[in-house]
Amino acid sequence: MVSAYLRRGMAAGLLAGLLAGLFAFFVGESMLDRAMALEEASHHEEIFSRSTQKAGLFFATGLFGVTEGGMFGLCYALFRERLAARGDLRRSITLAGAVFTGAFLIPFLKYPASPPSVGDPATIRERTAAYFTLVALSLLAMLLSWLAARTLKARGVGAAKRRLMVGAGLVVFVGVLFSVLPAAPSTHGFPSGLLWAFRLSSFGTQLVFWAGLGVLFGVLCERANRKGVTA
């Protein structure tokens, strides 16, 4: 049964990755071209040409989708019977939303995506370490929030009060993380309009991927259920 969820996750992830690649290509590439032009003006050496990067965009998003989709399928197999939502489609969308929040949305609020020319190249290791630390702790926060919600429900706490308590706890936890982790790199001197257009494009790409993954995986599971497939 786990292998079936793994296969569905990889298939859904591939499709979602290609959808995200289409969004990134048509929405984000023009802004990235402008950002790269600013970087070239600063005399940074370009390792791969823009034409090569564009050609590899769909390969990268497809590979990302297959990898993330496989992991999502395994997580779904683990949490499926513990999710409150009814039906595989709703459960899949719920889980995808939780992973999107922990793996991308919360870190994005602290460290929003920035073009290559933003930030001191000498601090890239420290910035990368801080970002992935926040990703891991944000996912942990989502897991703890889910466990807390289940515990409160088992104790008879009403839904509205339960959501308020868990939400407040999550906000406090995230606030502490934001205060102790290093600040985001300065964007002084970079055109603000281009910067925020780039960030919104990055946000949209991730949103398309996780929404697509949640829906496509759920549809595949529902389809398998109708056919009576268990493996």
Tell me the per-residue pLDDT of 69-92, one tens digit each, with 9 for 90 and over: 999 999 999 999 888 888 999 999
Residue 71 lies inside a defined structural domain of this protein: yes
pLDDT of 145 strictly over 80? yes
Q: Find the domain containing 12 and state its range.
A: 2-119+185-227
In angstroms, rounded to a whole number, what is the distance separating the alpha carbons of residues 215 and 15? 11
In angstroms, rounded to a whole number, what is the distance separating the alpha carbons of residues 113 and 184? 10
Domain count, the chain: 1
Q: Residue 207 has which token pair?
A: 């949103």
Q: Which amino acid is at 150?
A: R
pLDDT of 147 strictly over 90? yes
Residue 172 lies inside a defined structural domain of this protein: no
pLDDT for position 109: 96
The model's confidence at residue 35, banded by pLDDT at 50, 70 and 90, is low
Q: Are 170 and 141 in contact (CB under 8 A)?
A: yes
In angstroms, rounded to a whole number, what is the distance separating the alpha carbons of residues 218 and 138? 24
Residue 23 lies inside a defined structural domain of this protein: yes
Q: Residue 132 has which token pair?
A: 């992935």
Q: Which amino acid is at 92?
A: S
pLDDT of 231 strictly over 50? no
pLDDT of 155 strictly over 90? yes
Which residue carries 């802004």 as its tokens? 31
Average pLDDT over residues 48-56: 57
Taking CB atoms within 8 Å and a gap of at least 24, the contacts of 41-50 are: 42/117, 44/116, 44/117, 44/121
Average pLDDT over residues 4-10: 95
In angstroms, rounded to a whole number, what is the distance separating the alpha carbons of residues 177 and 110? 9
Residue 158 lies inside a defined structural domain of this protein: no
The model's confidence at residue 25, banded by pLDDT at 50, 70 and 90, is confident
CA 103 to chain centre: 5
Within 10 Å of residue 139's Cβ, how many Cβ atoms?
17
- For the chain, the average pLDDT equals 86
Residue 157 lies inside a defined structural domain of this protein: no
The model's confidence at residue 32, banded by pLDDT at 50, 70 and 90, is low
For 206, residues 6+ apart whose C-beta sits below 8 A from its C-beta are 20, 100, 104, 108
Residue 194 lies inside a defined structural domain of this protein: yes
pTM, entire model: 0.84
Least confident of 41-55, 90-104, 111-125, 195-209: 41-55
pLDDT for position 17: 95
Average pLDDT over residues 137-159: 94
